[in-house]
Structure 1
Amino acid sequence: MGEWKRHRILMVSDFFYPNFGGVENHIYYLSQCLLKLGHKVVVMTHAYNNRSGVRYMTGGLKVYYVPWKPFLMQNTFPTFYGTLPIVRTILIREKISLVHGHQAFSTLCHEALMHARTMGYKVVFTDHSLYGFADAGSIHMNKVLQFTLAEVSQAICVSHTSKENTVLRSGLPPEKVFVIPNAVDTAMFKPAPERLSSHEIVIVVISRLVYRKGADLLVEVIPEVRFIVGGDGPKRVRLEEMREKHSLQDRVEMLGAVQHSQVRSVLITGHIFLNSSLTEAFCIAILEAASCGLLTVSTRVGGVPEVLPDDMIVLAKPDPSDMVQAIKKAISILPKIDPQEMHNRMKELYNWHDVAKRTEIVYDRALKCSNQNLLQRLSRYLSCGAWAGKLFCLVMIIDFLLWHLLQLWKPAEDIEEVPDFILSHDQDKGISWDNENQSLR
């Protein structure tokens, strides 16, 4: 095999393990597959309770849990420049060549991408959610996203609907935005060894019990059928009140928060998986359920219609009566569903190794983008608005000055570079990492 230069990637987000969710899983599985491809991957996130400092995960994945505590929905408090010293240190210590930020709602992601561009690094951003345009929160977030993505090298969205949403919100040229869907670990999510009896149909819901995930919609739908509900959140009280009101204790089982390692054991107890989200860019939960052989009933929102073939999912409007009709339709076609066949199809449709290879292409394109001086970069920020553009320019100028002050105070030569994690020999591909020549052999 000829010499091949690898990427050195810093993944940044407020959302990572031990917290669980779609973004956390995406970063972890993508990082593991990139490591197997021979790239160096380091993750930066904030501290979780007593988890702080540097940790190593499976495959030599290095995680920096920086000593910032979350203040709202696992997000750190915006500091603008407070993270500059530690971001700079990590970039130099790990000899990073590219920074990959995840999730528009992540404060740490926005700040790291801003600092990385100031220091001349190429940056890639992945958007995992959909946002509106009219409410105050969305208007604020969209302006922040416009600022962050003004200089992004390339961007990734998890669905075509998400791409359209991101392009409209940020003003990014569509040719800079790529669609790379999520995937599922089919080795973990497998059907039950024996097909379940159809004497009593069981519908499974595993979701955060919040408004965005359609918890209020569930309250209207559940009295009609039997459910197993896994998940926790502020809307759990409404579900329990509904169960008491209709005396459904024998038909509605509330499991509370379910650990990710236990999700499969809950899924294989049911026949149908119900997703009642009111907004969704992709929905990994649907993939996990389909991989376990469950037929899915879901609201027709966001990127959900793009996720599964028509014979694996029944879509409905986010309306209680329409959801009940969709569930009845799903029950009628259940006898035609072969869980093992569905699992095998999911293996072919969604694979994390394929996601990593497609992401690798985006990295290649990002590194080919031309470098620009400060004046050329500021012109992009001026286009963000009459007042906002000037404010963004001021923020970047201050960031640039602080970076140069840091260089004077602590030159890059004084920051010790850490040795690379030595990859074990890959018996199947005959690949190992040559630490001296910085190439695969």
Structure 2
Amino acid sequence: MPNTMGDRTKHRILMVSDFFFPNFGGVENHIYSLSQCLLKLGHKVVVVTHAYGNRSGVRYMTGGLKIYYVPWKPFVMQNTLPTFYGTLPIIRTILIREKISLVHGHQAFSTLCHEALMHARTMGYKVIFTDHSLYGFADVGSIHMNKVLQFTLAGVTQAICVSHTSKENTVLRSGLPPEKVFVIPNAVDTAMFKPAPERLGSNEIVIVVISRLVYRKGADLLVEVIPEVCSLYPNVRFIVGGDGPKRVRLEEMREKHFLQDRVEMLGAVPHAKVQSVLISGHIFLNSSLTEAFCIAILEAASCGLLTVSTRVGGVPEVLPDDMIVLAEPDPVDMVQAIKKAITILPQIDPQAMHLRMKNLYSWHDVAKRTVIVYDRALKCSNQTLLERLSRYLTCGAWAGKLFCLVMIIDFLLWHLLQLLQPAVAIEEVPDNILKHYQQGEVSWDCNEDQSLR
């Protein structure tokens, strides 16, 4: 049960996702930054993810953030192999050991997230889900993912989306009542992403691209846009950071058009070095074909770069009109948008843009709004198994019955575990470890997570 201090409820949150440090991306950054701010607000936060290489077991990160790297290796695209019930024993143990009050899962593509939310709901915990991506409705992959999401959200207490477009997409895909879905945008650490002290006096214009070089991120568009812009503007140079299967096409484009001296390929860029790459440019180019929010745009704007982006998903909601130039995901329209950006570039004041971003987006604000969702979730009434099964039956003629069977088996396995290992036999983690950290009696390395010392 949650503790109370004064009039404020102090939550015990379990964050669950396949995507976390040392992997870097929008989801990983969201979980880490949100967790840090929740810790500062006095809540307890524990993260559960799968093992990364030799990173297995319990680790501590900055601020006393505790991470369980459960001993499962990624199966495909950093996701664990779906087992349905294989994760039940360890998720149950962690929930009891850490005296968790609610479970917060992230990303529709995360297998571990879906399984943890299912087990937590079976055990009577309140569960919250944050959707970070947009999916279609027609292709085979999206149809499959939408059905999985429908199953997970049928038992969710509350859901969070990072943009209004994402909310509409999630409601349509899952059938979740709109009143259960809240919109809380991503944010940016403006203390980390600062503009360069002053612009260089050179007439050269540098356009920066930092993205995974995959189809969904519009890497194929870059192959057509970059040569055209270089032919129109001799003083324009590109810096491309990121890696992926489409990197070969960009390398071929550079060779074909003899742009080796004007298109710099950096490969994968560690998150700690993103700011140093951004401040070397003037324009940030985002060519995504689908995007729920795009934290990279916030990071670029915080560094004082004017953004040119495709008009997709929740991107039009991210920045004010005078800080971004939008284009259709078409090479011709994107070239026109870059032309417009170059003409208005002299009007951009990087320092003023940074200050505006500081006022617009804050992880502390995101954390406070998320706590409101937690408070609301804990006030929701508990549902019996039969009440939850009626909700699963609405998921489809055949899928509904299958979902009910999955939940019934999960319920029976949970009770079997209760008999084999009663909750009272599981040792609870004392809370004074975090108190010692906050009092300065215990220290963690802020740059690299490590075991308690």
- Using the size of structure 2 for normalisation, the TM-score is 0.93
8 A contact 1:101–1:110 mirrored in 2? yes
Which of 170, 177, 180 aligns to 2:174? It is 170
Match of 1:437 in 2: none
The AA in structure 1 aligned to 2:103 is V
Which of 128, 147, 153 aligns to 1:143? It is 147
> Is structure 2 residue 314 aligned with structure 1 residue 310?
no
What runs of 5+ residues in structure 2 fail to find an aligned partner?
231-236, 440-453
The AA in structure 2 aligned to 1:283 is C
Q: Distance in 2 between matches of 1:143 and 1:320?
A: 34
Q: Distance in 2 between matches of 1:68 and 1:425?
A: 29
8 A contact 1:290–1:312 mirrored in 2? yes
Match of 1:434 in 2: none
Q: Distance in 1 between matches of 2:173 and 2:201?
A: 48
What runs of 5+ residues in structure 1 fail to find an aligned partner?
428-441
Q: Distance in 1 between matches of 2:278 and 2:381?
A: 48
Tell me how far 1:291 sits from its aligned partner: 0.1
Give the RMSD, CA atoms, in angstroms: 1.2
Match of 2:55 in 1: 51
Q: Tell me, what secondary structure is at the counterpart of 2:290? A: coil
The AA in structure 1 aligned to 2:323 is M
Match of 2:450 in 1: none
> Is structure 2 residue 416 aligned with structure 1 residue 412?
no
Range with bigger deviation, 153-162 or 369-378 = 369-378
8 A contact 2:9–2:375 mirrored in 1? no
Range with bigger deviation, 222-231 or 274-283 = 222-231
Q: Tell me, what secondary structure is at the counterpart of 1:100? A: strand
Q: Distance in 1 between matches of 2:389 and 2:112?
A: 22
Q: Distance in 2 between matches of 1:379 and 1:95?
A: 29
Match of 1:68 in 2: 72
**CA offsets 1:23-55 (integer angstroms, 9 cap, x no match):** 000000000000000000000000000000000
Match of 2:343 in 1: 332
The AA in structure 1 aligned to 2:128 is V
Match of 1:233 in 2: 244
Q: Distance in 2 between matches of 1:5 and 1:138?
A: 38
Match of 2:434 in 1: 422
> Is structure 2 residue 363 aligned with structure 1 residue 359?
no
> Is structure 2 residue 11 aligned with structure 1 residue 7?
yes
Q: Distance in 1 between matches of 2:326 and 2:112?
A: 36
Tell me how far 1:138 sits from its aligned partner: 0.5
Q: Distance in 1 between matches of 2:325 and 2:435?
A: 44
Q: Distance in 2 between matches of 1:198 and 1:374?
A: 68
Match of 1:218 in 2: 222
8 A contact 1:382–1:390 mirrored in 2? yes
Match of 1:376 in 2: 387
Tell me how far 1:4 sits from its aligned partner: 3.6
Tell me how far 1:373 sits from its aligned partner: 1.0
Q: Tell me, what secondary structure is at the counterpart of 2:75? A: strand
**CA offsets 1:341-378 (integer angstroms, 9 cap, x no match):** 00000000000000000000000000011011111111
Match of 1:180 in 2: 184
Q: Distance in 2 between matches of 1:308 and 1:126?
A: 21
Tell me how far 1:423 sits from its aligned partner: 3.6
**CA offsets 1:121-140 (integer angstroms, 9 cap, x no match):** 00000000000000111001
Tell me how far 1:194 sits from its aligned partner: 1.4
Q: Tell me, what secondary structure is at the counterpart of 1:71? A: coil
Match of 1:24 in 2: 28
Which of 77, 87, 94 aligns to 2:81? It is 77
Which of 235, 243, 252 aligns to 2:263? It is 252
8 A contact 1:131–1:165 mirrored in 2? yes
- Using the size of structure 1 for normalisation, the TM-score is 0.95
Match of 2:356 in 1: 345
Q: Distance in 2 between matches of 1:231 and 1:143?
A: 32
Pairs aligned (count)? 427
The AA in structure 2 aligned to 1:208 is R
Tell me how far 1:5 sits from its aligned partner: 3.1
Q: Tell me, what secondary structure is at the counterpart of 1:274? A: strand
Match of 2:448 in 1: none
Match of 2:129 in 1: 125
The AA in structure 1 aligned to 2:430 is P
8 A contact 2:195–2:350 mirrored in 1? yes
Displacement over 2 Å in runs of 4+ = 1-5, 421-427
Tell me how far 1:285 sits from its aligned partner: 0.2
The AA in structure 1 aligned to 2:238 is F
Q: Distance in 2 between matches of 1:425 and 1:2?
A: 22
8 A contact 1:196–1:271 mirrored in 2? no
Match of 1:97 in 2: 101
The AA in structure 2 aligned to 1:38 is G
Q: Tell me, what secondary structure is at the counterpart of 1:151? A: coil
Q: Tell me, what secondary structure is at the counterpart of 1:222? A: helix
8 A contact 2:64–2:437 mirrored in 1? no
Q: Distance in 1 between matches of 2:380 and 2:10?
A: 17
